[in-house]
Structure 1
């Protein structure tokens, strides 16, 4: 998002003030005509300043960036602070359109080169500074396994397409194993830059074509001689249609495609268009809006924005129709500010602290998120509290001030750059090229393991994981031929994910016809049922099904335990109702399928809603197993796999010559050990088959859980096994879950 600032013009003549303001901050629209008229009418200077200065907008910037920061640091009761992004979208739509319309009024056209030059001078110096600083900080303090992804984020941020990358990658803050990128917040700037690319070109086309639609109207002044009713009508029509289509997409697609809807410009464009429509209507608002109505509207708008911060939260389907609340509030405040009035919300928004924060809000937005993502690691904090984040935000504030006064403000007021577009564009191109070069340099750096010796390759033919397990806890050197490679570990997931066969957290959809594997002509059916810890066993089970001539149906959903319990999802921060609804659909399908076998499992670290959570967890699993026994001939319950205290790929990257320090302690790696044993005993009592995978993964005698076996990486994160390693466990899984081979003629 663009949280740019304005410098208040010197007290001189109205024309000189407008000229200086245009040079210093061409995006902050001053209402010069109001000032002149108010001076003529001897109105108080507090009703409207004799310039284009908008202190209400500056205050809105402060409110918006404060709300975003409050939400990101987990400040109590302000989970809806993410709506600050939407406030900025409306502000940007208004300011940019006002600037372009003023240029059309004056010249009859739009200077595309001049517009992009002003954007480069305004936005790129601070953005490039934060990008480069974040790359350096990531290199120093974050695990080497993350550098490739962060480098890609930096490159796409520099090119203003990071929102597309994040949407394609499925970034949704819901991946418990991987922290968000320290550059993820650049997505909103990318949305605005994409708007900046298209909107001036549209206005330029309308400036040429719309002039033929009519002569200057009754209320057209000399100042607006180039913008007659034809052009205004064309601009308004385009904005209304664009806003309507975009809002329809947001309302109808957010539920079914939440990630693309959150990051995409197609569902955010209507917010920018609302601001643009206010800019088009500003003259009418000035001419006809009663002062008392403007004052009330500004307070009502401020109330709506504030309410959205406290009412909305991570459970809200957003943007969708929920975005109407902050967008409408921002629109009311901005529209009210177009008309002269006293006692409006500017009384609050115009106070000095708000004006200062609004002035530096762009840099504050840029700096705050990298500090949140990297700061705790630099500080050495494992349990980060709000008070820690407040200290980090103090650091962000100091960095912002330094950036503003040493980089941002000096460059944007440098006359050679402001007055010669080619120089500004060259500077912008140079900054983008520098950020890209730094990103490529980081991405090209080899992992430290590549200089090590290679290990004997485990293929499943000459040797097995089982044979190597006992010797793996003492391995000190990470092999150069580690599979998957450390930088690729996080993506070493079962193909279920690429096939869309792991239902996402916020969805209740269940694919009844798809997600079939194994032998498509198999005579018998086995179902893999559970959460991501069930999905991790797919590579082995699929091999078994293909070899035995069985069909394999997968029913898996992210973080959804199949135990009959009510659970809290830690990322959604509420009761996981989507899981309960999905499970009922799954049980109905199982009743219909009547499979020959079901393999069910789930992560043991669940927050259960009950007076006695441990007993409820055990009873819930027993109820589920008994229900499955009514549908399937054989039911297999697989107990939970270990969870290591430290992310193995990151640990190995930091200790390529001392891999043994990453080996897990068996006693510390078993999740809820006492409850686990009671659960195994209870399920065994139902007559179901209990499978314990711990002996396949840990050396029971030594009490250790290796992270490298031969040339194989065991874990892709703290609690999920790598797909490549699970594939090599097929013999062990087949011994525990025997699938009777089907004659060829039955397939």
Structure 2
């Protein structure tokens, strides 16, 4: 059919095409840039860590296009067909999304550890229901999942945000249109009334969008630092980006009528420059979205707004080139396919050390899959007249695709782990058989025992009781919990367990000993917070961990108040220390902390850190149920920075601490190995956290190293 299109020279030209008259080549080019920078960031392309801002570009585009579509419908009919709108979304989005969901579930089944299938199945189900952003926010704030690998379906979060916008926004516009028709005049809505659109409706839409954008941006600016995970995935901090695009759609007619051509051209180039700059200026350490998202959002808004006005020599000269137009056309499918290839591709390829060149090959495969999906699935379905013209059929198809994805998810979640050995290992009881007695034999264990405790699929939840009691303080909470008392409530002596999760993991053993010895036990533990006197960045928060500093200061004040008889302090040795010489700062920081603790406590014990196996142990065992020795850690590689560790032990000893080194309890020092299964016990619940079941059986070793009963008796004699 004949359509009018803005040519590169700013004049209109006729072209025979299937494209509608409102088609925008600049937006198609923006889509290409958006998906390109997202992929560049995800594959680790140099200097493009901020490529995730491509998602923000997509949000602004979606807000503009969807609002433009809905306003055209209101202008034409005076109302919005909600069923028709959702039917068009179903035909446009669901076929490709369902294809990628099902393909990813299959690939995960074939190549990923079976212990991950339940989580991935849940991701697929919530992705199909467009709520995966909420699930990811919840999982991201759950410290038990801190070491979990990213989901191969994680990228569906942005689609969920858009779909949540699609659910609400048409209903809001419909309500405004109906109210305008009721109170704005008499009679039917006519084309004449459209041509002389009353200001009331436009004002109402604009006011709603401005308020929405203002509140959402305020949330983004003020909540991102305090609650970065929910702010990143939530629609509450992203709605302003969609509203920005929607506002441009409302103002498009005014821009077209009044914007000078030279200003439009300049704005388009300025916008493209802002988007480009954001890719290189923003990185994983930037609090995002926050106020930083203004850069890509403003850039996208400028390009789209400029494109509403005819102009010459604007950024469309670059955005309209054929490669950009083609990539923009298939950008939705490319976005869907790229991330599963990034997450599963290296495993399927058998790569341990993945480089950018490997990812480029995988992205080539993603491109081929995208083209096939577009021409074999997306395009044929969305141009099929029976679906396009009859909303009920499109909605039925969409419901069927969602149901299929849910059924596949449920099927995967219900599948058992691979068969383990029928043989049961010697059960460690703490009386007849101890961890110590079996340690030397455990590096050669071939099969995962049938009576493994905890089970492989239950390992992540085998944590100390203090988690359920609210005594493992979350990252974003700077306050100490003074109610975390255990042991003998009438005890005359007090010991404090102080540190991060690597301190908290020793709780089961220390609690047993405190109860047996008549001591009170106070737990003071905070996620990823080293008690060493250092400044550190937190990888989840993406910034300096100021909550840790505040928490430590309050903890020391509380210790001075209660004057404990002993403090056991430890933390994970992998920290992002902010210093010119991080290793020396780590050593000095621990020595300073020991000095501080020594002033408020009778005795200070420093528990050296346990080994880090380097890979998720339950996942490894699930993949190698008949050869568990593959998962055994190498002592030399599992100890974090051995030279720094030795210097740290010397420094805290000089500062007055009693050093407890758990390595002999966990590793066969003579063989240089660190077993992952001892008797019937699973030693690690992930790569570096010891399981609560295993720690409980180390109570005798802990009692020998930290003799609470002996200290109590000596104090009583005095």
**Same fold by TM (over 0.5)?**
yes
Is 2:101 the counterpart of 1:131?
Answer: yes
- Distance in 1 between residues matched to 2:515 and 2:213, nearest whole Å: 51
- CA, structure 1 residues 245+695, in 2 after alignment: closer, same or farther (shift >3 Å)? same
- Farther off after superposition, 320-329 or 628-637: 320-329
Secondary structure in structure 2 of the residue aligned to 1:123: helix
- Distance in 1 between residues matched to 2:246 and 2:162, nearest whole Å: 13
What are the equivalent positions in structure 2 for 1:244-323 lying under 5 Å apart?
244-323=214-293
Secondary structure in structure 2 of the residue aligned to 1:484: coil
What are the equivalent positions in structure 2 for 1:143-292 lying under 5 Å apart?
143-170=113-140, 177-215=147-185, 222=192, 224=194, 228-292=198-262
What are the equivalent positions in structure 2 for 1:497-508 lying under 5 Å apart?
497-498=467-468, 501-503=471-473, 507=476
What are the equivalent positions in structure 2 for 1:32-181 lying under 5 Å apart?
44-45=11-12, 51-170=21-140, 177-181=147-151
Is 2:465 the counterpart of 1:534?
Answer: no
Contact 2:420 2:625 in 1 (8 A): no
Equivalent residue number for residue 494 of structure 2: 525
- Distance in 1 between residues matched to 2:579 and 2:249, nearest whole Å: 54
What runs of 5+ residues in structure 2 fail to find an aligned partner?
none
How far is the alpha carbon of 1:702 from its aligned partner? Answer: 4.7
Contact 2:608 2:659 in 1 (8 A): yes
- CA, structure 1 residues 95+622, in 2 after alignment: closer, same or farther (shift >3 Å)? same
Contact 2:144 2:461 in 1 (8 A): no
For residues 165-188 of structure 1, the C-alpha deviation after alignment (integer angstroms, 9 at most, x for no partner) is 111112699966321111101001
How far is the alpha carbon of 1:444 from its aligned partner? Answer: 0.9
Contact 2:481 2:524 in 1 (8 A): no
- Distance in 2 between residues matched to 1:351 and 1:422, nearest whole Å: 38
Equivalent residue number for residue 29 of structure 1: none
Equivalent residue number for residue 635 of structure 1: 604
- Distance in 1 between residues matched to 2:530 and 2:521, nearest whole Å: 20
What are the equivalent positions in structure 2 for 1:420-439 lying under 5 Å apart?
420-439=390-409
Contact 2:464 2:505 in 1 (8 A): yes
Secondary structure in structure 2 of the residue aligned to 1:82: helix
How far is the alpha carbon of 1:276 from its aligned partner? Answer: 1.4
Contact 1:211 1:231 in 2 (8 A): no
Equivalent residue number for residue 321 of structure 2: 351
Secondary structure in structure 2 of the residue aligned to 1:442: helix
- CA, structure 1 residues 626+13, in 2 after alignment: closer, same or farther (shift >3 Å)? closer
How far is the alpha carbon of 1:121 from its aligned partner? Answer: 0.9
How far is the alpha carbon of 1:563 from its aligned partner? Answer: 3.2
- Distance in 1 between residues matched to 2:30 and 2:10, nearest whole Å: 25
Contact 1:291 1:342 in 2 (8 A): yes
Equivalent residue number for residue 332 of structure 1: 302
Contact 2:286 2:543 in 1 (8 A): no
Contact 2:420 2:447 in 1 (8 A): no
- Farther off after superposition, 343-352 or 184-193: 343-352
Secondary structure in structure 2 of the residue aligned to 1:320: coil
How far is the alpha carbon of 1:398 from its aligned partner? Answer: 1.8
How far is the alpha carbon of 1:637 from its aligned partner? Answer: 0.7
- CA, structure 1 residues 310+615, in 2 after alignment: closer, same or farther (shift >3 Å)? closer
How far is the alpha carbon of 1:585 from its aligned partner? Answer: 4.8
Equivalent residue number for residue 669 of structure 1: 638
What are the equivalent positions in structure 2 for 1:287-686 lying under 5 Å apart?
287-449=257-419, 452-455=422-425, 457-460=427-430, 463-498=433-468, 501-503=471-473, 507=476, 509-511=478-480, 513-519=482-488, 522-565=491-534, 583-606=552-575, 617-686=586-655
Contact 2:471 2:481 in 1 (8 A): no
- CA, structure 1 residues 333+500, in 2 after alignment: closer, same or farther (shift >3 Å)? farther
Equivalent residue number for residue 22 of structure 1: none
- Distance in 2 between residues matched to 1:563 and 1:431, nearest whole Å: 53
- Distance in 1 between residues matched to 2:579 and 2:179, nearest whole Å: 67
For residues 442-465 of structure 1, the C-alpha deviation after alignment (integer angstroms, 9 at most, x for no partner) is 111111245734445545455443
Is 2:690 the counterpart of 1:721?
Answer: yes
Secondary structure in structure 1 of the residue aligned to 2:604: strand
Equivalent residue number for residue 28 of structure 1: none
Contact 1:566 1:609 in 2 (8 A): yes
Contact 1:47 1:341 in 2 (8 A): no
- Distance in 1 between residues matched to 2:287 and 2:142, nearest whole Å: 13
- Distance in 1 between residues matched to 2:13 and 2:143, nearest whole Å: 45
How far is the alpha carbon of 1:737 from its aligned partner? Answer: 1.8
- Distance in 2 between residues matched to 1:720 and 1:615, nearest whole Å: 25
How far is the alpha carbon of 1:624 from its aligned partner? Answer: 2.6
Contact 1:163 1:263 in 2 (8 A): yes
Secondary structure in structure 2 of the residue aligned to 1:690: strand
Contact 1:163 1:190 in 2 (8 A): yes
How far is the alpha carbon of 1:617 from its aligned partner? Answer: 4.2
Contact 2:229 2:541 in 1 (8 A): no
How far is the alpha carbon of 1:742 from its aligned partner? Answer: 7.7
For residues 105-131 of structure 1, the C-alpha deviation after alignment (integer angstroms, 9 at most, x for no partner) is 111221111111111111111111111
- CA, structure 1 residues 495+169, in 2 after alignment: closer, same or farther (shift >3 Å)? farther
What runs of 5+ residues in structure 1 fail to find an aligned partner?
1-9, 15-31
- Distance in 2 between residues matched to 1:412 and 1:484, nearest whole Å: 49
- CA, structure 1 residues 43+351, in 2 after alignment: closer, same or farther (shift >3 Å)? closer
- Distance in 2 between residues matched to 1:481 and 1:608, nearest whole Å: 41
How far is the alpha carbon of 1:402 from its aligned partner? Answer: 1.6
- CA, structure 1 residues 528+174, in 2 after alignment: closer, same or farther (shift >3 Å)? closer
How far is the alpha carbon of 1:434 from its aligned partner? Answer: 1.5
Aligned CA-pair RMSD: 3.3
- Distance in 1 between residues matched to 2:3 and 2:642, nearest whole Å: 78
Contact 1:262 1:319 in 2 (8 A): yes
Contact 2:143 2:527 in 1 (8 A): no
- CA, structure 1 residues 614+235, in 2 after alignment: closer, same or farther (shift >3 Å)? closer
TM-score, normalization by structure 2: 0.90
Secondary structure in structure 2 of the residue aligned to 1:308: helix
Contact 1:213 1:230 in 2 (8 A): no
- CA, structure 1 residues 635+388, in 2 after alignment: closer, same or farther (shift >3 Å)? same
Secondary structure in structure 2 of the residue aligned to 1:716: coil
TM-score, normalization by structure 1: 0.87
